[in-house]
C-alpha cells in the first residue's frame, strides 16, 4: 500500500528557462544524439504512455529530450550497469535483454554474476557457480512471464523483485522495465547493483535534466514516475535495512505490501526554508516548514522506518518543542515499543513527535507486519539487542549538547556530509586555507571563511556535499552533479551557463557566482568574462584530500559528516 | 591534544638526546665537538625554514601543514637546546657573535610568545559578538565615524546640542578617527570604554528628548567602535609578532652563513 504526497519540486514555474536546453544539448548525453528511429522505439515504452508531445514547448520538444538527454548503452552478460555504492542522477529503461538487480546482502553472488558470463568455461566445474547459473536461468524464465505483481503500475515497470528463489534478493528486469528511479529523483546512492543478465543487453539511460523536464511537462509521466518511485523506494528501503537481512524476498514483499510509503515535504524544500529563515513566522508555527509525521501521544500502531531525508524527534515542553535528536535514512522509530506492545498486550503511545526536516520519505510498518515477522521468527529483532531495535536509541544526536543539536537541526546542517567546521578557538585568521584553496583552483577560492557560528564552532560557507543536494534540482544544463563514486557534488564548468539556479537553491549560501574566463584563458565568444557557479569540490581528483584542511597550520579545520552525530561528538572531544 | 604534546615532546627529547650523544662521541674521539653541534644547530635552523616554504606551496603533496607546524615548534626547542650546548652557556665576545646571539634569542622568544598568542588570542576574540576580518576593520571604523558625524551634524539646529557638539569635538572625533586604547584592550580592560561612556552619560541631563535619542545612538556607535578596537588590537598582535620572528630568523641565518665561513677560514674543520 502506498500513499503520501507527490514529489513536488516546490516551484510553480518551469524548472529551466526556455532556451537553456539548447546549451545543455550542445553536449548530448551520449556520444551523438539518438537517431529518430531509435527515439521512436524508446518512446514506445509503457513508461512514456500518455505523454503528449504538443504539451512541450517548441524549444523543448519531447523527442529532443529523449534524443539528447538520453543515451543507449550496450552491455554483455555480467557487465555492471551501476553499483549500489554509486551515486546516480539518471534513470534506466531496459530496451533489449534483461538485467539483474541485487543488494549488498548478496554481495558474494554479485561477484559471481559479474564473472559468470565471461568465465563460465572453468567456473562450470565448480558446484557453487552451477547453482548461480541455475538461478539465472530460473530468473530468466520468470522474466519471460507477464508481470502480475501488485507493485506493477500497469506500465510494465515491475518493482524490482523476483520470488522464484526465496533465498536470493536478486531481481530480473526485462524489456521496458524501469530502474534507478529513486536515486535519480533523490540524487542519492543507488542502493542496489544492476548487472546485465544477457549478452547484447541494451539499456536507455535518461539523465536528470531530461527526467525533470519530462516530469514537469507531462502529468502522466510524473504520476507514473512518482508511483514507481514509491514502489522502488519502499522495496529498496526495506531491503537496505539490516533488520530485514534475515528474511527472504517473498516475505519482504509481504511486509512491503502491508507497509505504507509516505512522502512529507517537498523535494525542493530549500526555497521554503530560505523564505522561513529570511522571515520567520511570528507565531513560531513550523508545520509548513516541518510537516508532522507522527504526533507525540498518538497511539502506536506501526513503527516508522526513515527511507530518505531527515526527521526531527522532539518532545513537547510547555509551549515549545525540545529537540531530542534526529533520524535519517535507515533509522527505525518506535519498533521496540511496538514489540513490547505485542508481547505484553498493552497499547503504547509515541513518546515523541516526529517532523520531516524539509523533506522525508518514511515507511510505516504496521503492527500486523511486525507480528507476522515475530511469528515467523521470535528472535527476528534480536530480542531488543539489535542496535536498530532499541527503542529510541536509533535517534541520533542525543550525546550532543542541546544548543549544538538545535543549531545543527534548525539550520539543516545535518544534511552536510563534508561540512567545513572551523574551531574558532584555534583559528588565527591567517587565511592559509583560503590561499591553498585558491592555489588549487585557478586562483579562485571555492569557499568563504565565514558562516554561522555556535560557540567556538563555525560552519563555514563551503559546500557540504549534502546528503540531499537540492542545488542539483533546478540546474537547467545538468552542470552540477554528483561524482558517481565519491558522491561529491561537483560543477562542470564547461556546461555551467551561470544562471544561478544552484546558488539560489542552496539553503546554506555555499554556492556563489563568479566572473571567470574560459579554461583556455580567453573570455569566450562574447569577448567578456562569463559568470559561473563556484563551490567547493573537496579538491576532487587530488588524492591528498581538501587543500584547505591540509593547509591549516593550527588544526582548526575539520571536514565533518554532521549527520553522524556520534563521530562529530568524538571529533569535538579529540579537538579539545 | 595533551597526548599530542606528550608524544611530540617525547620525540623531540629523544632526538635531542641522540644528537647530544653523538656530539659526546665526537668529543671522545678528540675532535672539536663545537663543529659538530654547530652543524647540527645550523641544520636545525635551516630545517625550520622549510615550514614557511611549505605554507607557500599548498599544491605540493608534502603532508599536512599542522604536522609541519608541530615539527617547526619542537625543532625550535631542540635548536634552543643545541644553541646552549654550542655556546657552552657563555655570552659571546665579538660583535658578529653578539649579533647572532641577540637575533637567536629574539627568534626564540618571539617564537615562544607567538605560539602562546596563537593559542590564546582566538579564544579571546570569541568574547565579542562577531568576528570581523582585520582587513575589514578600517572600512567599518570609517563607516561608524561617518554615522556619528551625521548624528552630531544632524542634531545641530534641531535640538539644543551644544553639550553634545562640545563632547564630540573634544573626545568623540578623535576616538572615531583611528584605533584607540590598544594596550588597554590587550589587557582586557574595560576602563577606556567606561570612561568615554560615562562622559557621554553625563551629558544626558542637558539634553531634551531628541537629544537623548541621539545620545543613545552615539553610545551604541561607541560600543561598536570599542568592539572593533578590541578585535584590531588582538588580530593585529596575531600578525605583529611575525614581523619580529621572520626578519630576525632570516637575519640570523645570514649571519650564521658568515659565521660558518669565518670558522672554516680559521680552523682545520675536524
Residues in chain A closer than 8 A to B58 (CB atoms): 432, 435-436, 439-440, 547, 550-551
Q: Are residues B22 and B122 in the same domain?
A: yes
- Judged by CB atoms closer than 8 Å, whether chains meet at B58 and A575 is answered as no
Task: Tell me how close the Cα of A502 comes to any Cα of chain B, in angstroms.
Answer: 28
Interface of B with A (CB under 8 A): 1, 55, 58-59, 61, 63-66, 68-69, 118-119, 121-123, 125-126, 131, 133-134, 235, 238
Residues A275-312 have pLDDT tens digits of: 888 887 766 566 678 899 988 888 888 889 998 899 99
Residues in chain B closer than 8 A to A553 (CB atoms): 55, 65-66, 68-69
A20-221: CATH, from 3.20.20.120, 2.60.120.10, 3.30.930.10, 3.30.565.10: 2.60.120.10
- Judged by CB atoms closer than 8 Å, whether chains meet at B65 and A553 is answered as yes
Q: Are residues B12 and B70 in the same domain?
A: yes
- Judged by CB atoms closer than 8 Å, whether chains meet at B61 and A575 is answered as no
Q: What percent of chain A has pLDDT over 90?
A: 35
Determine the average pLDDT of the residues in A92-114. 66
Q: Are residues B121 and B139 in the same domain?
A: no
Beta-strand relationship, A80-82 and A90-96: unpaired
CA dihedral B213, B218, B222, B225 (to 10 degrees): 130
Residues A138-155 have pLDDT tens digits of: 333 333 333 333 333 334
- Judged by CB atoms closer than 8 Å, whether chains meet at A428 and B121 is answered as yes
Q: Are residues B7 and B109 in the same domain?
A: yes
Interface A–B counts its CB contacts (< 8 A) at 63
**Chain A interface, best mutation among B54, B59, B61, B243, by max A CB count within 10 A:** B59
Task: Tell me how close the Cα of A390 comes to any Cα of chain B, in angstroms.
Answer: 34
Residues in chain A closer than 8 A to B235 (CB atoms): 429
Q: Are residues B51 and B115 in the same domain?
A: yes
Q: Is A431 left (phi over 0), alpha (psi -120 to 50) or beta?
A: left
For chain A, give every domain's residue range: 20-221, 260-396, 405-575
The answer to whether residues A4 and A264 touch, using CB atoms and an 8 Å cutoff, is yes
Nearest 5°: CA angle at A43, between A38 and A49?
Answer: 165
Collapsing DSSP states into helix, strand and coil, what is residue B99?
helix
Which of B65, B133, B134 is opposite residue A552, by nearest beta carbon?
B65
B-proximal residues of A, 422-461, CB under 8 Å: 424-430, 432, 435-436, 439-440, 450, 453, 455-456
A405-575: CATH, from 1.10.287.90, 3.40.630.40, 3.40.190.10, 3.30.70.20: 3.30.70.20
- Judged by CB atoms closer than 8 Å, whether chains meet at A547 and B58 is answered as yes
Hey, is the C-beta of A549 within 8 angstroms of any chain B C-beta? yes
Hey, is the C-beta of A377 within 8 angstroms of any chain B C-beta? no
pLDDT for the residue numbered A117: 32
Residues A486-533 have pLDDT tens digits of: 889 999 888 888 899 999 999 999 999 988 766 555 555 555 677 899
ipTM score of the complex?
Answer: 0.85
Q: What is the DSSP string of A315-326?
A: EEETTEEEEEEE
According to CATH, the superfamily of the domain at A260-396 is Jelly Rolls (2.60.120.10)
The alpha carbon of residue A535 and the mean position of all alpha carbons in its chain are separated, in whole angstroms, by 20
Domain count across chain B: 2
pLDDT for the residue numbered A22: 61
Which of B63, B66, B134 is opposite residue A429, by nearest beta carbon?
B134
Instruction: Report the C-alpha gap between A326 and A408 in whole angstroms.
Output: 10
Q: Are residues B192 and B244 in the same domain?
A: no
The top-scoring range by mean pLDDT among A269-273, A413-417, A527-531, B1-5 is A413-417
Q: Are residues B244 and B229 in the same domain?
A: no
Task: Note down the domain range covering B211.
Answer: 134-235
| Cβ neighbours around B89 below 10 Å, total | 8
Task: Tell me how close the Cα of A457 comes to any Cα of chain B, in angstroms.
Answer: 10
Q: Are residues B152 and B229 in the same domain?
A: yes
Residue matched to cell numbers 530468473: A139
Instruction: Report the C-alpha gap between A110 and A548 in whole angstroms.
Output: 39
Q: Are residues B120 and B139 in the same domain?
A: no
Residues A324-376 have pLDDT tens digits of: 899 988 888 888 888 878 877 777 788 888 999 989 999 999 988 888 888 88
Taking each helix axis from N to C terminus, what angle separates A367-376 and A335-344, rounded to the nearest 10 degrees?
A: 70
Amino acid at each position: 500500500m502506498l500513499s503520501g504526497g507527490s514529489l513536488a519540486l516546490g516551484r510553480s514555474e518551469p524548472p529551466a528557462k526556455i532556451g537553456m536546453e539548447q546549451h545543455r544539448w550542445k553536449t548530448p548525453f551520449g556520444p551523438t544524439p539518438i537517431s529518430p528511429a531509435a527515439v521512436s522505439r524508446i518512446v514506445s515504452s509503457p513508461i512514456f504512455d500518455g505523454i503528449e508531445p504538443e504539451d512541450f514547448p517548441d524549444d523543448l520538444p519531447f523527442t529532443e529530450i529523449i534524443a539528447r538527454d538520453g543515451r543507449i548503452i550496450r552491455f554483455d552478460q555480467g557487465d555492471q550497469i551501476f553499483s549500489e555504492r554509486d551515486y546516480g542522477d539518471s534513470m534506466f529503461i531496459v530496451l533489449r535483454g534483461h538485467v539483474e538487480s541485487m543488494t549488498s546482502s548478496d554481495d558474494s553472488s554479485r561477484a559471481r554474476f559479474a564473472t559468470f558470463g565471461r568465465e563460465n568455461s572453468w567456473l562450470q566445474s565448480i558446484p557453487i557457480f552451477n547453482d548461480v547459473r541455475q538461478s539465472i536461468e530460473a530468473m530468466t524464465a520468470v522474466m519471460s512471464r507477464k508481470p502480475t505483481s501488485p507493485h506493477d503500475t500497469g506500465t510494465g515497470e515491475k518493482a524490482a523483485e523476483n520470488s522464484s528463489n526465496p533465498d536470493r534478493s536478486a531481481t530480473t528486469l526485462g524489456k521496458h522495465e524501469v530502474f534507478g528511479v529513486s536515486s535519480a529523483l533523490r540524487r542519492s546512492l543507488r542502493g542496489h547493483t544492476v548487472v546485465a543478465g544477457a549478452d547484447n543487453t541494451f539499456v536507455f539511460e535518461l539523465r536528470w535534466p531530461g527526467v525533470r523536464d519530462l516530469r514537469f511537462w507531462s502529468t502522466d509521466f510524473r504520476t507514473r514516475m512518482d508511483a514507481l518511485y514509491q514502489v522502488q523506494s519502499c522495496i529498496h528501503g526495506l531491503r537496505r535495512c539490516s533488520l530485514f537481512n534475515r528474511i527472504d524476498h517473498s516475505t519482504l514483499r509481504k511486509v512491503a505490501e502491508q507497509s505504507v510509503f509516505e512522502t512529507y515535504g517537498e523535494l525542493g524544500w530549500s526555497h521554503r526554508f530560505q523564505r522561513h529563515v529570511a522571515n520567520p513566522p511570528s507565531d513560531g508555527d513550523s508545520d509548513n516548514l516541518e510537516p508532522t509525521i507522527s504526533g507525540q501521544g498518538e497511539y502506536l500502531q506501526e513503527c516508522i522506518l526513515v527511507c530518505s531525508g531527515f526527521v526531527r524527534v522532539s518532545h513537547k515542553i510547555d509551549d515549545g518543542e525540545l529537540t531530542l535528536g534526529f533520524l535519517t535514512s535507515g533509522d527505525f522509530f518506535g519498533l521496540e515499543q511496538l514489540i513490547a506492545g505485542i508481547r505484553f498486550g498493552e497499547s503504547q503511545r509515541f513518546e515523541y513527535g516526529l517532523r520531516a526536516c524539509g523533506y522525508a520519505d518514511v515507511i510505516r510498518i504496521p503492527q500486523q507486519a511486525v507480528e507476522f515477522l515475530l511469528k515467523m521468527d521470535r528472535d527476528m529483532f534480536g530480542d531488543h539487542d539489535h542496535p536498530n531495535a532499541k527503542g529510541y536509541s536509533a535517534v541520533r544526536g542525543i550525546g550532543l549538547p542541546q544548543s549544538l543539536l538545535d543549531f545543527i537541526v534548525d539550520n539543516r546542517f545535518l544534511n552536510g556530509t563534508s561540512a567545513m567546521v572551523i574551531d574558532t578557538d584555534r583559528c588565527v585568521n591567517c587565511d592559509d586555507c583560503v590561499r591553498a584553496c585558491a592555489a588549487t583552483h585557478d586562483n579562485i577560492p571555492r569557499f568563504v571563511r565565514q558562516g554561522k557560528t555556535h560557540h567556538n564552532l563555525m560552519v563555514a560557507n563551503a559546500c557540504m556535499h549534502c546528503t540531499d543536494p537540492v542545488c542539483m534540482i533546478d540546474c537547467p544544463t545538468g552542470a552540477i552533479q554528483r561524482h558517481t563514486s565519491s558522491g561529491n557534488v561537483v560543477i562542470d564548468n564547461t556546461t555551467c551557463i551561470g544562471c544561478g539556479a544552484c546558488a539560489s537553491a542552496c539553503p546554506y549560501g555555499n554556492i556563489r557566482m563568479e566572473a571567470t574566463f574560459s579554461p583556455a584563458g580567453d573570455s569566450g565568444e562574447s569577448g567578456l568574462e562569463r559568470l559561473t557557479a563556484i563551490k567547493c569540490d573537496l579538491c576532487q581528483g587530488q588524492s591528498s584530500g581538501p587543500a584547505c584542511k591540509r593547509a591549516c597550520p593550527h588544526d582548526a579545520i575539520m571536514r565533518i559528516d554532521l549527520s553522524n552525530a556520534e563521530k562529530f561528538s568524538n571529533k569535538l572531544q579529540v579537538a579539545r | 591534544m595533551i597526548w599530542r604534546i606528550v608524544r611530540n615532546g617525547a620525540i623531540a627529547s629523544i632526538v635531542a638526546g641522540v644528537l647530544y650523544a653523538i656530539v659526546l662521541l665526537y668529543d671522545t674521539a678528540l675532535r672539536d665537538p663545537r663543529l659538530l653541534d654547530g652543524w647540527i644547530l645550523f641544520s636545525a635552523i635551516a630545517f625550520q625554514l622549510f615550514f614557511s616554504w611549505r605554507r607557500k606551496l599548498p599544491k605540493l603533496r608534502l603532508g599536512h601543514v599542522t604536522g609541519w607546524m608541530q615539527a617547526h615548534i619542537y625543532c625550535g626547542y631542540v635548536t634552543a637546546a643545541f644553541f646552549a650546548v654550542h655556546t657552552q652557556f657563555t655570552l659571546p665576545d665579538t660583535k658578529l657573535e653578539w649579533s647572532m646571539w641577540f637575533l637567536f634569542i629574539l627568534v626564540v622568544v618571539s617564537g615562544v610568545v607567538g605560539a602562546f598568542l596563537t593559542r590564546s588570542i582566538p579564544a579571546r576574540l570569541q568574547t565579542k559578538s562577531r568576528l570581523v576580518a582585520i582587513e575589514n576593520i578600517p572600512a567599518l571604523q570609517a563607516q561608524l565615524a561617518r554615522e556619528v558625524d551625521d548624528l552630531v551634524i544632524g542634531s545641530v539646529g534641531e535640538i539644543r546640542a551644544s553639550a553634545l557638539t562640545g563632547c564630540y569635538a573634544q573626545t568623540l572625533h578623535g576616538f572615531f578617527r583611528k584605533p584607540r586604547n590598544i594596550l588597554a584592550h590587550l589587557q582586557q580592560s574595560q576602563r577606556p570604554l567606561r570612561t568615554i561612556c560615562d562622559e557621554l552619560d553625563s551629558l544626558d541631563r542637558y539634553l531634551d528628548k531628541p537629544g537623548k535619542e541621539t545620545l543613545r545612538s552615539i553610545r551604541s556607535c561607541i560600543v561598536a567602535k570599542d568592539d572593533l578596537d578590541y578585535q584590531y588590537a588582538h588580530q593585529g598582535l596575531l600578525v605583529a609578532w611575525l614581523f619580529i620572528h621572520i626578519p630576525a630568523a632570516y637575519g640570523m641565518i645570514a649571519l650564521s652563513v658568515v659565521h660558518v665561513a669565518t670558522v672554516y677560514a680559521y680552523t682545520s674543520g675536524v
